[in-house]
Amino acid sequence: MKAHITTICSTATQSEVRDLLKKFISDLPIDESQQNQIVLAVDEALANAIIHGNHQDPRQNVQIDILYLKDKIRIEMINCGYFDIHEDDKKEKALSDIIVEKQKGGLGLKLIYSIMDVVSFYIKDNKTRCVMTKLIPRQKDESKA
């Protein structure tokens, strides 16, 4: 199964994207807790793309491609704006260190990395892309087949 969503770079559209994503994954054999976590990670990545990557410019858009395979869900966000590769270092810091250092920002990325199993950023066709993958454990009914 797959889906495609395109939205303008305005935080006002985030609830629509959340609703579409919830509708898509509600039919998948993923438990409700994981569904909510995936929605949260995508919502945070979208907020980063809209606010930091595209500066809430409604002339810009973000595309989201969702692909579900039996063992994983892969979400690719296209046109995330510029991504400083050093931001990736923040995922390694413990939350307590971030608090002690009074670090500004980076918590959204930490959240995304903690929920999703694989997160990567790359540039293709002059657009920054964020690919998030969540591995889906086999359901008991599926493993007997």
Of the candidates 109, 110, 112, which has an alpha carbon nearest to the alpha carbon of residue 83?
A: 109
The string of pLDDT tens digits covering residues 38-83 is: 999 999 999 989 988 888 999 999 999 999 998 999 999 998 666 6
Q: Give the CA-trace dihedral at 34, 65, 21, 7, to 10 degrees.
A: 140
Q: Which domain holds residue 64?
A: 2-138
Q: Does residue 101 contact residue 116 with C-beta atoms inside 8 Å?
A: no
Residue 55 lies in a domain: yes
Q: Does residue 63 contact residue 5 with C-beta atoms inside 8 Å?
A: yes
Residue 144 lies in a domain: no
Amino acid at 56: Q
Amino acid at 1: M
**Residue 114 three-state SS:** helix
Residue 122 lies in a domain: yes
101 pLDDT exceeds 70?
A: no
